[in-house]
Amino acid sequence: MPGISDKGQRMPASPIRKLVPFAEKALKAGRKVHHLNIGQPDIHTPEVVLEKMRNLDLKVVEYSHSAGFSTYREGLANYYNSVGIGLDASEIIITTGGSEALLMGMLSCLNPGDEVIIPEPFYANYNGFAVAVGVNVVPIPTSIESGFALPPIEAFEARITDRTKAILICNPGNPTGVLYRNEELETLRNLVLQHDLFLFADEVYREFCYDGLDHHSIMNLEGLEQHAILVDSVSKRYSMCGARVGAIASHNREVMDTVLKFAQARLSPPTFGQIAGEAALETPTSYFEEVIEEYVERRDTLVDGLNQIEGVVCPKPTGAFYAMAELPVDSSEKFCQWILESFELNNTTVMMAPASGFYSDPEQGKRQVRLAYVLEKAFLQEAVAILDAALKAYPGRHVATSSEVAAH
Amino acid sequence: MPGISDKGQRMPASPIRKLVPFAEKALKAGRKVHHLNIGQPDIHTPEVVLEKMRNLDLKVVEYSHSAGFSTYREGLANYYNSVGIGLDASEIIITTGGSEALLMGMLSCLNPGDEVIIPEPFYANYNGFAVAVGVNVVPIPTSIESGFALPPIEAFEARITDRTKAILICNPGNPTGVLYRNEELETLRNLVLQHDLFLFADEVYREFCYDGLDHHSIMNLEGLEQHAILVDSVSKRYSMCGARVGAIASHNREVMDTVLKFAQARLSPPTFGQIAGEAALETPTSYFEEVIEEYVERRDTLVDGLNQIEGVVCPKPTGAFYAMAELPVDSSEKFCQWILESFELNNTTVMMAPASGFYSDPEQGKRQVRLAYVLEKAFLQEAVAILDAALKAYPGRHVATSSEVAAH
């Protein structure tokens, strides 16, 4: 029997989904499970999108152009202009989700063995794409104490080798909820120019910025036109994760010509999803106002609640819809499994993502969990109460000593 | 400015789409263009699919399971059983088109530098996926004189090295329309077992078999359970190329577990497309009967017509909806461009795919074109008349000598 590939062996299983069997068991046992483990919001997809789909008048579900429908690319260019990002339709290629945007961007720009520097904790699937493309992730630690702020530029400098080809950031950040300030991005810009690197930015949470803070795109960093590559998606913006429609954009013509060749090999992005994405461009501003207000309330409910639990540390994120919390436990992996298997309050329990999957060194996130505040407030309140009680009952309770905190 | 990757440079541009600018010019000049260059049928998507989409009642367009909706996987297993292929839902992963199925299959089974043997001419994008994964395609020539039949097994033997890891076939074939006989597949089976290789089969044209011939799947080759990997798609079966929904299936558990890890990294296949694919399972048998009858008439119209033109050789295909034709020209690439730029009959011209893109050595297909008979008969008749007149007028007309034919 022929063996599988080396990449297949190295490929990580999803850390977000690996507790699924325990959640299924809890459900089978008649328990309710609050899913804070995955960024699948309960927010409704805009009505303009669903209305459009119900009124489809096509007879043949055809391929589109490999770069996407030209009307959609033009519409997207208008959208970017409306949020202050100057892009022409010819500088945008529609992809199958942000996932494919990043995969094709990496394939176009990086050779096997090249290094890409990523502040950690980072979105777990970056590891997967790095394995698929054969590049090495060089993590650069950030700390929960500083709210996962961008590390000082010297920390980046110290990791640059002759194989470094790119830096990848997620802004606002998954899993941290961190929103980078413009000054932070400007220091990155200088470094990228100095070392002639690509700068990839996953900006799929662009709309989700709170407390009056603004989002700053790498596409607006002066002098970075040939280096900046934008990864985007409609998944979170319009709560339509299943559409699998995203985009890659760059002013670098050579990069976009190369991405197009990879795009041609897979023929076209999904037609239904593109129709939905184009319709979503007509989403009224009031939709976002309501959604953002809702997320702020959810964030405050969850984060304020968590910080009132003894031994829990949870910095308040200013973007996206995730929070990272340090728990008073021996291992968040064990705790997340235990709470699904052995704990309930009013016959309800909570599913979380152990943070170790978001670190390249699993020891780093050993006591942390990622929580997605994508459920309504009443459920989040219940989840906080369940966590409070569970942490008191958990046999592996462990409050970090100050030396452990310092070592971290 | 940082440079693009080596793979990005090696990545081929689509040979099917590279004449598009000339077609656009012809259209701008007010000409009509019959598109025989691409397998985008004009056949209507089944009404059950369009009806389903018009009655969508979801409120949130959510992710599905990374392997696809379980109801759809079960429905697909029933479909396979109905066409005589024994597969369980757990042995099927839904993908974003056949393209992603092949890409994830290759990533899971092949290491960079491994060799995959493919009878040529072959579907041009196999080259693209091979570049993306870093594997080497080892072509094995077939001839237009034999109707592109599977080469003798000795020809495969002669190409096996210690880097050979897989054989890839397309059955029924794109671009050749060849349908392999069961005995041919059985000789392949023996070879695959003897050398412990993977056998990938792209069977997306399964339904399109003519002249009373049956399709034989590699999934039914005894003893090949751990070696056979099926690549499939709904694109052609239900004329919904834009759904971007396919599947990969194998009895090899290790392969499927590995594919699932790659599937998790990109989260899920398209939700709308899966809903459409699941609805398509209810397509009435009469739909296929009508479609196949239509394709047979189209094939006969095109192929019989072509063979009546002096100097044209076009074997009659027994599957899929493509025909390969040898033309009396110096270069099919030049001819295909010339006919778009400089020829019209009743203000109409024809777009074809030069066959060189389907060969690893472009010299091989130098005088051949691929024609997709995906348009209604009246247009195909017009296309034949245009080709007849164009070949008489073409300045580069060149009838192959018998020694040129023999060398070929």
Cα A27 from Cα A30, distance rounded (Å): 5
pLDDT of residue B259: 98
Predicted TM-score (pTM) above 0.90: yes
Q: B104: helix, coil or strand?
A: helix
Instruction: List phi, psi (to 5°) of B290.
Output: -65, -40
Contact A53 B56 (CB under 8 A): yes
Contact B243 A49 (CB under 8 A): no
Nearest-Cα distance to chain A for B393, in Å, is 33
**Which tokens hold the place of A322?**
């995730």
Task: Cis check for the bond before A41: say yes or no (omega within 30 of 0).
Answer: no
Query: Could you tell me which residues come within 8 angstroms of residue B118 by beta carbon, excluding any fewer than 6 positions away?
Result: B126, B137, B138, B139, B140, B167, B168, B169
Q: Which of B16, B40, B50, B60 to mutate to test the interface with A (most CBs of A within 10 A)?
A: B60
Stretch B197-203: mean pLDDT, rounded? 98
pLDDT at B360 over 90: no
Nearest-Cα distance to chain A for B76, in Å, is 20
Cα B321 from Cα B39, distance rounded (Å): 8
Q: Nearest Cα to A16, choosing from A161, A174, A137, A190?
A: A174
**B215-218 contact pairs (CB < 8 A, 24+):** B215/B83, B215/B171, B215/B172, B215/B179, B215/B319, B216/B171, B216/B180, B216/B181, B216/B182, B216/B185, B217/B83, B217/B84, B217/B85, B218/B169, B218/B171, B218/B185, B218/B188, B218/B189
Contact B110 A55 (CB under 8 A): no
Cα A181 from Cα A216, distance rounded (Å): 7
**Which tokens hold the place of B283?**
């397509």
How would you classify residue A338: left for phi > 0, otherwise alpha for psi between -120 and 50, otherwise beta?
alpha
Q: Which of A253, A272, A283 to mutate to test the interface with B (most CBs of B within 10 A)?
A: A272
Residues of A in contact with B237 (CB under 8 A): none
Contact B60 A66 (CB under 8 A): no
Nearest-Cα distance to chain B for A228, in Å, is 10
Contact A266 B7 (CB under 8 A): no
Contact B41 A56 (CB under 8 A): no
E strand or H helix at B198: strand B198-202
**Which tokens hold the place of A111?**
């050779």
Nearest-Cα distance to chain A for B397, in Å, is 32
Contact B125 A264 (CB under 8 A): yes
Q: Using the 8-state DSSP alphabet, how is residue B19 labeled? A: T
pLDDT of residue B401: 64
pLDDT at B392 over 90: yes
B44, A58 contact by CB (below 8 A)? no
Q: Which of B137, B191, B264 to mutate to test the interface with A (most CBs of A within 10 A)?
A: B264
Q: Using the 8-state DSSP alphabet, how is residue B315 labeled? A: P
ipTM score for this prediction: 0.95
CATH of domain B6-44+286-407: 3.90.1150.10
pLDDT in tens, B241-284: 999 999 999 999 999 999 999 999 999 999 999 999 999 999 99
Nearest by CB to B262, from A64, A132, A265: name it: A132
Closest chain A residue to the Cα of B245, Cα to Cα: A270
Residues of A in contact with B261 (CB under 8 A): 8, 11-14, 128
Domain boundaries, chain B: 6-44+286-407, 47-280
A205, A319 contact by CB (below 8 A)? yes
What CA–CA distances, in Å, run from B408 to B143, B243, B335, B363?
A: 8, 40, 20, 10
Cα B91 from Cα B103, distance rounded (Å): 17
Sheet holding A368-372, edge to edge: A322-326, A368-372, A353-354
**Which tokens hold the place of A394?**
């958990």
Residues of B in contact with A132 (CB under 8 A): 107, 262, 265
- Binning pLDDT at 50, 70 and 90, where does residue B408 land? very low
Q: Nearest Cα to A133, choosing from B261, B145, B7, B79?
A: B7
Cα A210 from Cα A297, distance rounded (Å): 10
Q: Nearest Cα to A99, choosing from A8, A204, A205, A20?
A: A204
Instruction: List phi, psi (to 5°) of A191.
Output: -65, -45
Residues of B in contact with A272 (CB under 8 A): 53, 242-243, 270, 272-273, 276
Q: Nearest Cα to A248, choosing from A188, A196, A204?
A: A204
Cα A137 from Cα A154, distance rounded (Å): 18
**Which tokens hold the place of A166?**
């790119």
Closest chain B residue to the Cα of A129, Cα to Cα: B265
Burial label, B159 (beta-carbon count in 10 A; 0-12, 13-18, 19+): middle
- CATH class in words for B47-280: alpha beta
- Counted residue by residue, chain A has a size of 408
pLDDT at B217 over 70: yes
Nearest-Cα distance to chain A for B157, in Å, is 18
Residues of A in contact with B14 (CB under 8 A): 66, 261, 264-265
Nearest-Cα distance to chain A for B77, in Å, is 23
| Three-state SS sequence of B58-87 | CCCCCCCCCCCCHHHHHHHHHHHHHCCCCC
Q: B89: helix, coil or strand?
A: helix
**Residue with tokens 């060849």, as numbered in its chain:** B178
Cα A105 from Cα A100, distance rounded (Å): 8
Residues of A in contact with B5 (CB under 8 A): 107-111, 258
Helices B285-307 & B377-393 angle (0-180, nearest 10): 20
Query: Could you tell me which residues come within 8 angstroms of residue B402 by beta carbon, excluding any fewer than 6 positions away?
Result: none
Q: Do domains B6-44+286-407 and B47-280 have the same CATH topology?
A: no
CA A57 to chain centre: 34
Nearest by CB to A264, from B17, B58, B266: name it: B17
- b vs e for B223-261, b when ≥16 Cβ sit within 10 Å of the residue's Cβ? ebebbbbbbbbbbbbbbbbbbbbbbbbbbbebbbebbbb
Closest chain B residue to the Cα of A256, Cα to Cα: B4
User: Which residues, given as ranges, of chain A have pLDDT below 70?
Assistant: 400-408
Contact A244 B109 (CB under 8 A): no
Beta strands B353-354 and B368-372 are: antiparallel
Residues of B in contact with A62 (CB under 8 A): 40, 241-242
Cα A283 from Cα A44, distance rounded (Å): 12
Nearest by CB to A265, from B99, B252, B255: name it: B99
Residues of A in contact with B165 (CB under 8 A): 2
What CA–CA distances, in Å, run from A323 to A299, A339, A354?
A: 8, 19, 12
Task: Please provide the average confidence, as pLDDT, over all residues in chain A.
Answer: 95
Q: Nearest Cα to A92, choosing from A109, A104, A74, A105?
A: A74
pLDDT in tens, B146-163: 999 999 999 999 999 999
B90, B334 contact by CB (below 8 A)? no
B38, B357 contact by CB (below 8 A)? no
Contact A128 B255 (CB under 8 A): no
**Residue with tokens 């985009």, as numbered in its chain:** A247
Contact B261 A128 (CB under 8 A): yes
Query: Could you tell me which residues come within 8 angstroms of residue B404 by beta carbon, excluding any fewer than 6 positions away?
Result: none
| Three-state SS sequence of chain A | CCCCCHHHHHCCCCCCCCCHHHHHHHHHCCCEEEECCCCCCCCCCCHHHHHHHHCCCCCCCCCCCCCCCHHHHHHHHHHHHHCCCCCCHHHEEEECHHHHHHHHHHHHHCCCCCEEEEEECCCCHHHHHHHHHCCEEEEEECCCCCCCCCCCHHHHHCCCCCCEEEEEEECCCCCCCCCCCHHHHHHHHHHHHHHCCEEEEECCCCCCECCCCCCCCHHHCCCCCCCEEEEEECCCCCCCHHHCCEEEECCCHHHHHHHHHHHHHCCCCCHHHHHHHHHHCCCCHHHHHHHHHHHHHHHHHHHHHHHCCCCCECCCCCECCEEEEECCECCHHHHHHHHHHHCCECCEEEECEEHHHHCCCCCCCCCEEEEECCCCHHHHHHHHHHHHHHHHHCCCECCCCHHHHHHC
pLDDT of residue B405: 53
Nearest by CB to A262, from B11, B107, B198: name it: B11
Stretch B283-293: mean pLDDT, rounded? 96
pLDDT of residue A408: 47
Closest chain B residue to the Cα of A69, Cα to Cα: B242
CATH of domain A48-280: 3.40.640.10
In angstroms and rounded to an integer, the radius of gyration of the C-alpha atoms of chain A is 21
Contact A242 B132 (CB under 8 A): no
Residues of A in contact with B104 (CB under 8 A): none
Nearest-Cα distance to chain A for B60, in Å, is 5
Cα B344 from Cα A393, distance rounded (Å): 82
Contact A108 B8 (CB under 8 A): yes
Cα B269 from Cα A99, distance rounded (Å): 11
